[in-house]
Structure 1
Amino acid sequence: MFALDRHASFFQHSLRLLPYHYTQTDTTRLALVFFCVSGLDLLGYLPVGDRQCSSKSKITKLDVEHWKEWVYSTCLLPTRDAFRCSPATAVPRSSASSSSSSHFDQFDYDAGHTAGTYFALCTLIILRDDLSRLDRVGMMRWLRKCQRQDGSFAAGLLRSKHNGAGAALSDDDDDNCEQKFGERDLRFGYCAAAARWLIGGDILARKKIVAADIAFDSAFEYIASCISFDGGIAMSPYAEAHAGGTYCGVGALCLLSQRKISTVLADAVVGDLVKWSLMQQVYAELDPESGSEDEIHSEPTSFSSSESPLRSPVVDRPAGFSGRTNKPPDTCYSFWAGGTLAMLELPVTSSSSSSSSSSSSSSSSSSTGSLRLLDIRANIMFLLTQTQNTMIGGFSKVAGTHPDIMHSYLGIAALAMCAETIRQNGGPESFVKADTELDTIASILPLQPLDGALCLSTSALQYAQELRSKWENE
């Protein structure tokens, strides 16, 4: 059964105090806050908007305001155009350095970060902040400056101390005044695309409030260069396809194209992406010599149920998702692969009947896309029976390990998408293989619907759309 209240307690405790094991993650503290706040949102524990939150929730409006203030006071740069990933990365600002200083002394290292900016914006949107304390124009200019010539995005931008310490960027700032830093991978491209949408960067560009938008063509070309021979997307060109990279690539395309992926990806590429994502669902192999049917090997199998040497069909077993081919299942990939499927819809073939075309058209407008094509039941059972911790709450990376914040949130996010698919496709009765599973599958239905492209609840997405409408009409 889904331990909703235990998970809510896990996130609330994590927001107050973390064990020493999390010391190494202190430089990404804002990400942990997002996971906890968004997890509570999906669980229905946040008193935001007009929502009637859970009667067991002890979270108050004062808590919500406190969390908002923490994000602004500890992570927003003085220029108000970007966020740090953590208060721990803030460094003192000094005035101009001497002429004999080294090249590295010329830059201000209290820098914004694309991932930190994404997490901050998402957290503030969930908490129903209107973003009026941000310099949205400056943030859009900053995002554009983070884009490299090859279309990829840097993690952030170091600004010259000589260009007015901490001065906001303008459209005509010379590249000699800034230095991009960070790897070339799709994570930063996705975070930049999401941040641009959340602040209405496309609206600012269309109204000529900023000189230019980000370079779409080069961004699309860079993502295309990361597509692997097997149909998935790698984090960088010529690397191995990865479920996380596939999600980031598809997510960036989805947000940059205003959720019209068919306008930037060929049907064949969409089909390959869907197929690759579905192929990452891994069924556990049971030991035929074992007397217990609950004993599961750590290595995945790739055979079909008809080829299975087991006494019972493999499709009756829990099945999570792996991140790469021939790897064991991991909680987080249920979201990375599931979120990719939620954003993609297989094209309708010309041979389809009118009734099937109508059905496909209806499903394409839903929030679950091709998610209905995976084995929903097996994925739910993997998460609830293998990696969920029903005693203290949370989800672990793999079975038998301690739960952590990231996997807890992504496990719940994956279940939220599964719950919405179940609601849209006949209810839990259509997904169970035995009556004894009905209550287990139905236990995830109280979860709030989730938008796969932004990794936010649909209620938070609706609020973001309201802000965009307001900015459009200003």
Structure 2
Amino acid sequence: MGELATDKHVRYILSVEKKKDSFESVVMEHLRMNGAYWGLTALDIMGKLDTVDVNEVVSWIMSWGFGGNVGHDPHILYTLSAVQVLALFNKLDVVDVDKVTTYIVSLQNEDGSFSGDIWGEVDTRFSYIAICCVSILHRLDRINVEKAVKYIISCKNMDGGFGCTPGGESHAGQIFCCVGALAITGSLDLVDKDLLGWWLCERQVKSGGLNGRPEKLPDVCYSWWVLSSLIMIDRVHWISKEKLIKFILDCQDTEKGGISDRPDDAVDVFHTYFGVAGLSLLEYPGLKPIDPAYALPVDVVDRIFFSK
């Protein structure tokens, strides 16, 4: 089995942010805030967050008003990424907590669901993001948790999985969002853990990788979505951890750094983060443990909730 090329991945992540006019950077322009979260969290898991200028990152985050990039409209997706990045650096004190909380509260609909922004798209991803964000800010009581949980449960399917809206197809990404939100609100007893665990462990294919739905190709990012869900419902022993570790390591570019969706594909910061985070969940040596519900290193989550 190969080894994680940590130093190469650190160099790769740091180089991505510097190449502002590269193809990858232009394509990712609307996702720059998410990209910052993926890259910085991966660095922290690898114990290399000190390679970044904290003040530069914090002032950049505070300059844009919680859109995907400077000058973009606010959206709940980027709001969570910003809060998570500030949490990594122990800089949550710079957040106008009431303002952010009021924005998130304004996006909860009558049925308990959440919209992503003022345009009203509804998706269980936004339920997770809202719940995770207000929880990190110690404002979970400001949303209607009971209604939020009820809406998430209404998206549960006969196969034990969850979709993006009621009746939507079960998908590993949505399952993570729903299970994560239920974990944060202390509602995991509402999940059929054996049925869902069975659906999730069926996502492992011959190569050891995981897919997001039946009959799809494996993809490194599901090493996070599927694995974290299995851990939260205590069914991770139903898959082969060794095969999955090998699959993730096979997706590395061992010369230039970075991790791709499948072996020999082009690397990107998204899959680099999910590969490293997946290995952390698999207790790969030398990596900091990551919290499966909050998608932040365990020491960061402990600091948020348990430090004086």
Answer whether TM exceeds 0.5 for this pair: yes
Task: Pick the aligned partner of 2:253 from 375, 389, 395.
Answer: 389
Distance 1:272 1:278 in 2: 10
Contact 1:27 1:86 in 2 (8 A): yes
Q: C-alpha offsets along residues 119-161 of structure 1, whole Å, 9 cap, x if unaligned?
A: 00100011111x22322123222211101112211112xxxxx
Distance 1:224 1:2 in 2: 38
| 1:319 alignment partner, SS class | coil
What is the match of residue 16 of structure 1?
A: 18
More strand by share: 1
Could you tell me which amino acid in structure 1 is paired with residue 101 of structure 2? M
Task: Pick the aligned partner of 1:42 from 37, 42, 45.
Answer: 45
Spell out the pairing of 1:78-157 with structure 2 (5 A cutoff): 83-89=66-72, 111-129=73-91, 131-156=92-117
What is the match of residue 3 of structure 1?
A: 5
Contact 1:343 1:453 in 2 (8 A): yes
Q: C-alpha offsets along residues 259-300 of structure 1, whole Å, 9 cap, x if unaligned?
A: x522xx15xx122221111111111xxxxxxxxxxxxxxxxx
Offset of residue 88 of structure 1:
4.0
Q: Which runs of 5+ in 1 are unaligned?
A: 48-58, 77-82, 90-110, 157-179, 206-212, 284-317, 346-369, 420-443
Q: C-alpha offsets along residues 393-434 of structure 1, whole Å, 9 cap, x if unaligned?
A: 111112221101101100110001001xxxxxxxxxxxxxxx
Contact 2:8 2:254 in 1 (8 A): yes
What is the match of residue 293 of structure 2?
A: 453
More helix by share: 2
What is the match of residue 298 of structure 1?
A: none
Offset of residue 341 of structure 1:
1.1
Distance 1:390 1:340 in 2: 29
Could you tell me which amino acid in structure 1 is paired with residue 29 of structure 2? D
Task: Pick the aligned partner of 1:185 from 109, 123, 128.
Answer: 123
Offset of residue 46 of structure 1:
1.7
Distance 2:109 2:120 in 1: 11
Distance 1:125 1:217 in 2: 26
What is the match of residue 416 of structure 1?
A: 280
Spell out the pairing of 1:346-361 with structure 2 (5 A cutoff): none
Could you tell me which amino acid in structure 2 is paired with residue 142 of structure 1? Y
Spell out the pairing of 1:248-287 with structure 2 (5 A cutoff): 248-257=177-186, 261-262=188-189, 265=190, 269-283=192-206
Matched, 1:68 2:58: yes
Matched, 1:218 2:147: yes
Contact 1:27 1:88 in 2 (8 A): no
| 1:451 alignment partner, SS class | coil
Could you tell me which amino acid in structure 1 is paired with residue 298 of structure 2? T
Q: C-alpha offsets along residues 326-380 of structure 1, whole Å, 9 cap, x if unaligned?
A: 11101101110001112113xxxxxxxxxxxxxxxxxxxxxxxx32332100100
Distance 2:160 2:147 in 1: 20
Distance 2:33 2:271 in 1: 16
| 2:209 alignment partner, SS class | strand
Contact 2:8 2:255 in 1 (8 A): yes
| 1:189 alignment partner, SS class | helix
Matched, 1:462 2:302: yes
Task: Specify which structure has the bigger relative contact order, considering alpha-carbon pairs within 8 angstroms and separated by 6 or more residues.
Answer: 2
Count of aligned pairs between the two proteins: 305
Could you tell me which amino acid in structure 1 is paired with residue 62 of structure 2? Y
Distance 1:415 1:21 in 2: 24
| 1:250 alignment partner, SS class | helix
% identical equivalent positions: 29
Q: Which runs of 5+ in 2 are unaligned?
A: none
Offset of residue 216 of structure 1:
2.1
Could you tell me which amino acid in structure 2 is paired with residue 330 of structure 1? D
Distance 2:204 2:120 in 1: 32
Distance 1:459 1:84 in 2: 27
